[in-house]
């Protein structure tokens, strides 16, 4: 349930009275919540994908160092 807001008091939001949500508002709320969850999952996937690539590069680098050791002066 949402409450209406009275902005006449200097711009401060203050609930005035309860207002029943329409089906469209309820669906929009659900859609926005699902979108937020999806964005969080996609960010997590991006982070894990980046870490996997970094680990692969590190492993490859370690193997190349063992195969082709540099002569230190």
Q: What is the pLDDT of residues 27-61, one digit of tens each?
A: 999 999 999 999 999 999 999 999 999 999 999 98
Does residue 16 fall inside a structural domain?
A: yes
Does residue 61 fall inside a structural domain?
A: yes
Cα angle for residues 46, 47, 48 (degrees, 5° grid):
95
Does residue 72 fall inside a structural domain?
A: no
Domain count for the chain: 1
DSSP summary character for residue 33:
H
**Pairwise CA distance, residues 51 & 43, whole Å:** 12
pTM of the model: 0.55
| pLDDT classification of 73: cutoffs 50, 70, 90 | very low
Does residue 73 fall inside a structural domain?
A: no
Q: Name residues whose C-beta falls within 8 Å of residue 19's C-beta, 6 or more positions apart in sequence.
A: 1, 2, 3, 4
| pLDDT classification of 64: cutoffs 50, 70, 90 | confident
């Amino acid at each position: 349930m949402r409450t209406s807001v009275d902005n006449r008091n200097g711009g401060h939001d203050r609930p005035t009275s309860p207002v029943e949500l329409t089906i469209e508002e309820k669906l929009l709320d659900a859609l926005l919540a699902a979108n937020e969850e999806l964005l969080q999952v996609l960010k997590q996937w991006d982070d894990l994908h980046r870490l996997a690539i970094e680990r692969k590069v590190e492993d490859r680098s370690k193997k190349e160092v063992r195969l082709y050791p540099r002569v230190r002066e």
